[in-house]
Amino acid sequence: MKPSYPHPLIAREGWFYLGLAGALALAVQEIAGGWWSLPFWVITLFVLQFFRDPPRSVPAGEGLILAPADGRVVAVLPCEDPYLHCPAVKVSVFMNVFNVHSNRSPLKATVREVVYHPGQFLNADLDKASEANERNALVLETPQGRKITCVQVAGLIARRILCYVRSGDPVEAGQRYGFIRFGSRVDLYLPPDVRLRVAIGDTVKATTTILAEWPKT
């Protein structure tokens, strides 16, 4: 199923940086010549690949919980959801600078709460980043009344978490809701009875990878 929301191929968060890098490369090429401008064109290409934002098809099926970000699964462990204060399983996806960095809703739901925490900028690959780093949490409730928490976590280089939804907003599965610049992670706190479909070390893609399924009723 194709997403129904507008989707530029280059994330709007990167237009300024891409324009700046391209203008600088052109200026150096005009002033100093092609060889001197080569490193600046490489930087421009890096910015272009970092802010790419390809559309993703949503898998068909009931009860699916989708990956909220591209990257590598760095944690799957039982814990307590720090926002819902109940037992949970945390699944963490680490995004390096070569991953797509737009964040997408893991399921169809209503945003019940948005909680922002200022914090540090430790390496997002470390588990303690979930509690120490700057982060922004969404508490999501499905039409069936089930709740999960999806947390954007800033990383060592990331200095800006962007979130475009508010409490009360509806979101569709796979809907783009935010962006984190230059390396970060997303934590999902899921009920313990979900059936996990990923393990530590797995590479996942936002929306197209199924992280877990709700139990059959």
| pTM attached to this predicted model | 0.85
Q: How far apart are CA 178 and CA 141, in angstroms?
A: 18
Domain residue ranges of the chain, discontinuous segments joined by +: 12-50, 64-207
pLDDT value, residue 149? 97
Question: Is 78:175 a contact under the CB 8 Å cutoff?
Answer: no
Q: Model confidence over 173-200: pLDDT tens digits? A: 999 999 887 668 899 999 999 999 999 9
Could you give the angle at the alpha carbon of 53 between the alpha carbons of 29 and 197, nearest 5°?
140
Q: Is 22 helix (H, G, I), strand (E, B) or coil?
A: helix
* Dist. CA 48–CA 105, nearest whole Å: 24
DSSP 122-179: --TTSTTHHHHB-EEEEEEE-TTS-EEEEEEEE-SS---EEE---TT-EE-TT-EEEE
64-207 folds as: Glucose Permease (Domain IIA) (2.70.70)
Model confidence at 156: pLDDT above 80: no
Q: Which among 141, 108, 138, 125 has a CA at the least distance from the CA of 184?
A: 125
CB 136 within 8 A of CB 152: yes
Model confidence at 126, pLDDT cuts 50, 70, 90, reads low
Which residue from 182, 25, 22, 155 is spatially nearest to 101, judged by alpha carbons? 182
Establish whether 184 is a catalytic residue: yes
Contact 41, 25 (CB under 8 A): yes
Which of the pair, 14 or 152, is modelled with greater confidence?
Answer: 152
Tokens of 113: 């709460």
pLDDT digits (tens, 9 = 90+) for 71-114: 999 999 999 999 999 999 999 999 888 888 889 999 999 999 99
Candidates 37, 102, 130, 184; catalytic one: 184
Q: Give the pLDDT band of residue 158 (cuts 50, 70, 90).
A: low
Quick one: average pLDDT of 51-61?
86
| 71: amino acid identity, one letter | G
Q: Three-class SS of residue 183?
A: coil
Q: 207 and 64 in contact (C-beta within 8 Å)?
A: no
